[in-house]
Structure 1
């Protein structure tokens, strides 16, 4: 550790910032990032992020970073209030990123209804052509690496999150509709397993096994991942168990707002099939599922 400190002390300031992935300069925001990433002091970083926000220094990044650190410190409720209070100081370009952080915070706090409403809002933005500021892709980050995300991939991700939220409410029929939609757009093993779970909860075991077979046969992205294989084993055990209990669905189905989204998404899919439009349509018909929900 001592040798590392000596080496760092000899580094040119610009090299030091690169080493620790710090922004250049000595502003309140930069000091907050230093305390967060170098000193490993999350509580101290939160205090400094507050100072950066109040000073108007890189407010977009300061608010988002502070909320993330607060979540890590089990202060998610405070983070939610901070975003709601200060997001009007942030740029238009930062709003989508703040929404993503807010969705994770709602999930962390168990505020499922608010999570659902925000996810629906994001779907509505896609329907109206407002996602990604009207561009077909956006640059995202994961574990320090940049990659491109398409509207199609983002829509599938949002639908997957919406399906999970419905499952927490035990609204398995609505979750099924959402997961089927997501699988049409961008299928993968994780969403297939969740769809299987929805069908099991509705005592539709034959359909559940059929969905699971696609994962077992390796037809979907992620089928070979250890996490997916373990999940498949668990679901098979549940399917094969003689103690399966049929749970009567108490799902309330799609309300007027859901119907608006479903109809809008159907229109988009029709456009996608016929031609490329500015709204980047990526949906297929789910009228049959909507009919089920209406029953």
Structure 2
């Protein structure tokens, strides 16, 4: 009896230690079993089956849905993950919808659904300038790599704009990408977004403007400019610039692809967060003469 008791005690201790090491939640429900299979046994296919069981049983549906989508993405089952979130997000709380949208954006990016990604990012920005994001609060708690941190609504806006700019670059619609990257920089500037903005200008043959933006990175004028990755990219872009001839006359401008109500909403954010700046960025003044040609 004593030996059996010791084995049970040792088993409990090992199970508790496993929860701590692998960050598996405690308990014995379907969701906990799914996490154990995912993180400890490292069997993603079996984990997906158990996540489905957790969702059907109503056990931590939000967490099960997001975790299952992540595992499906790792297994290149991205389309299935997208359909799962669309089908079952109605079972999740209102507070969880923002984080589910973040998962969806990542899934759209993974499988090349650029138009869907753009539409969802625009919707997230609309929620911000309508005051509905973060449940009306100025900050929220986010999690990355197991660590919690606070994110402000301004930081989130800049992050979403940067993602939107990257999506437009994949279209490729460099004029629209430039617009949103400039607005992102007005809110929360950094070297990475500056490099992307510089690339947008290069693609539009606006080489001197691109040079100025890229040199701001090389001269350390922006947050993150001292990071090796940012400096290397800025140097590569500058070398690329050196190979170009003077810009040709730009004809057949591409459609901007930004609706007027969307641009006006972003302008409201600029008025609130950067009141001393011009209401509209110079790019809007530059393209106003081509308004009839632009697909707004």
What TM-score results when the alignment is normalised by the length of structure 1? 0.88
Equivalent residue for 2:239? 237
Compared CA separation, residues 10 and 26, structure 1 to 2 (3 A): closer
Which aligned pairs between 1:199-278 and structure 2 lie closer than 5 A? 199-242=201-244, 250-255=253-258, 258-272=259-273
The Cα of 1:65 is off from its aligned counterpart by 0.4
SS of 2:140 mapped into structure 1: strand
Q: Which of 156, 159, 166 is residue 157 of structure 1 equivalent to?
A: 159
Q: Which of 100, 104, 109 is residue 102 of structure 1 equivalent to?
A: 104
- Cα deviation digits, residues 109-154 of structure 1 (max 9, x gap): 1110000000000000001001111111111111111111100000
Equivalent residue for 2:3? none
Size of the aligned set, in residue pairs, is: 280
Which aligned pairs between 1:1-295 and structure 2 lie closer than 5 A? 9=11, 11=13, 13-242=15-244, 250-255=253-258, 258-272=259-273, 285-294=279-288, 295=290
The Cα of 1:226 is off from its aligned counterpart by 1.8
Would you say the 8 A contact 1:163–1:178 is kept in 2? yes
Whole-Å separation in 2 of the counterparts to 1:248 and 1:238: 23
Whole-Å separation in 2 of the counterparts to 1:156 and 1:242: 31
With CA pairs under 8 Å and 6+ residues apart, which has the higher RCO, 1 or 2?
A: 1
CA root-mean-square deviation: 2.3
Whole-Å separation in 2 of the counterparts to 1:71 and 1:202: 34
Compared CA separation, residues 190 and 287, structure 1 to 2 (3 A): closer
The Cα of 1:292 is off from its aligned counterpart by 3.1
Q: Which runs of 5+ in 2 are unaligned?
A: 1-9, 291-296
Compared CA separation, residues 243 and 109, structure 1 to 2 (3 A): farther
Kindly name which structure, 1 or 2, has the bigger radius of gyration based on alpha carbons.
Answer: 2
- Cα deviation digits, residues 36-66 of structure 1 (max 9, x gap): 1101111111111011101111000000000
Whole-Å separation in 1 of the counterparts to 2:51 and 2:239: 48
- Cα deviation digits, residues 216-235 of structure 1 (max 9, x gap): 01111111212112211210
Would you say the 8 A contact 2:202–2:241 is kept in 1? yes
Would you say the 8 A contact 1:254–1:290 is kept in 2? no
